[in-house]
Every structure is written in C-alpha cells, then in structure tokens.
Amino acid sequence: MKKFTIIDILQGPKAKFYSVLLEGKRQSEFEEFLTNFRDNPEFSEIIQNIVIKIDQMARVTGAREIFFKPEGPSMVFRINIGRDETYPLRLYCLRYNDQVVLLGGGGYKDLSTVRYQDKEELNNAVKLLRAVDKSLKEEEASFTDLDLVSGKQFELKGL
Amino acid sequence: MPNKIFEEVLNNVPKDVKRSIARSMRIAARIDEILKEKGLKQSDLAKMLHKSESEISKWLSGDHNFTIGTIDKIEDVLDAEIINIPLKPAGTKSKMPRPSKSKDLTRRIKK
C-alpha cells in the first residue's frame, strides 16, 4: 500500500496550506503542479494568480469558501479563478475550513473537456485527494490543525 | 518558512498584479463578511442587485475589477461600508517627497 506525508507549504496568521508528498517522490503534488506549469507562458498568468491567492488567504483573508469551487460531492474543491473560460487550469485541494487547506495537484482542462472525469490527469488528482481525505479521517486526524500530523506518514487507503 | 518553489513563483509576480488581486480579494472578503454578519447568502445579494448567482460568484472569486459604481450599489443594498478611506484631519500637512526624488521626477516628466 502506498504511503504519503503531509508537508507545509505556507503558514500565515489567517490560514495554513499543506500538500501531499507521496512515498518515493521528491516533490509534493502542489510543488509538482507549480513545476509543471510555472515556466509555460500559456499558464504563467494563472500560476501567478493561484500563488497570490494562496498567499493572501494565508496572510489576510483566510481560506474563505468564496475563493474555492466544489468539485463533485466530496470535500474536494478547486481554487476559484473566476474566469474558467480563459483560465483552463485546475488546482484541486481539500478545504477543511477557513484556516486549513490541503493542496493537491491538477492540470490542464481544455475547453472541449466538460467533466474532470474525462481527463486522466484531473481525475487522478481528484481521486488522490479523496483517498488522502479518507485516510486522514480514518486516522482521526484533526483538521483544525494539520500541524499535528505534518511530517507524519499515513497509508493511502481506497486508491 | 514558506515553501521554496512557492516563494520563487510568488517573488516573480509583478507588483501591480499582486496589488490588484490582493485588493480584489480584500473587497470580496469584506462583502463575504457583511453577508455572514447579516445572515445573507450570495443568492440574496444576486436578487438584491438583479444579477445572476454565477455573476456574484465571479465577483467574489478575488479576480473581479470592481468599479466604484458597483461598490456603491453593493454598499447601498447591504447597508454597510465596504471601503473606508481615512483622510488626515484638517490642517495636517502631507509629507512632501524628498527634494532629490522630486527633482528626479521633474526631470523624468520633462523627458
């Protein structure tokens, strides 16, 4: 069974952001997402938009629900970028409350793709976050403060 | 300590882009705060402004470039202040730019 670790991305007075590091990988899901898209001119604007939003949420506004969009029936959200038509990139996360967000990965959603399930990259990112959520809940991790589980290794269940 | 890759990307964002999104997010957060204080939902605000819910959702995403007119309308229907611009009391002198910088600015304008 695969294992994962929760790692810190950004801690601010209003919200804390974490990501998931899968066993055997060098980068967390969020770091991999940034690495894949940061130097691509087609996506640089949206990547900038995402990092500023995370920074502002951590320091100033908190991770309010208005800055996210739900993705399907579970806890999975994506960062709301306001202009889905012109910004075809998705970053998925588990938003537990206004203070705690676990960032996953994501990818390119071209305009012809209607549902995230139709794109393997996006579907995998959502499925991974659901499995992480399930694993953390089974371990009864406290979502009001993921610092308590940061650095601890968990078994990935249900993937 | 912020994550290294995150910090690198954040540091490369132009200041004006940072400022613009940060301001939009603060306005959106303030509207969200007022809605919660008054026990209202985004759908209520949409009805009050005769807009669709999806439009209000876009406004509150943190990307919307609010006009003063739109802020006025929202303040009006919510009966609350969104932006407060504090002015100095009468008789208080504003700080003038340092002479060297001021001269430099004049030179740049003349060019």
Across the beta sheet with A3-11, the strand order is A68-70, A76-79, A89-95, A100-108, A16-22, A3-11, A153-155
- Model pLDDT, residue A145: 64
Q: How far is B70 from chain A (nearest CA, A)?
A: 17
Over the stretch B30-70, which tens digit does the pLDDT of each residue have? 999 999 999 999 999 999 999 999 899 989 989 899 999 99
Over the stretch B3-39, which tens digit does the pLDDT of each residue have? 899 999 999 999 999 999 999 999 999 999 999 999 9
Using alpha carbons, select from A80, A90, A73 the residue that is nearest to residue A133: A73
- Model pLDDT, residue B109: 56
Residues of chain A with pLDDT under 50: none
Give yes or no for a contact between A35 and B31, defined as CB atoms under 8 angstroms apart: no
The answer to whether A56 contacts B22, with C-beta atoms less than 8 Å apart, is: yes
pTM of the model: 0.86
- Model pLDDT, residue B71: 97
Q: What is the ipTM of this complex?
A: 0.86
Using alpha carbons, select from A85, A88, A125 the residue that is nearest to residue A103: A125
Using alpha carbons, select from B37, B36, B33 the residue that is nearest to residue B25: B33
The answer to whether A82 contacts B62, with C-beta atoms less than 8 Å apart, is: yes
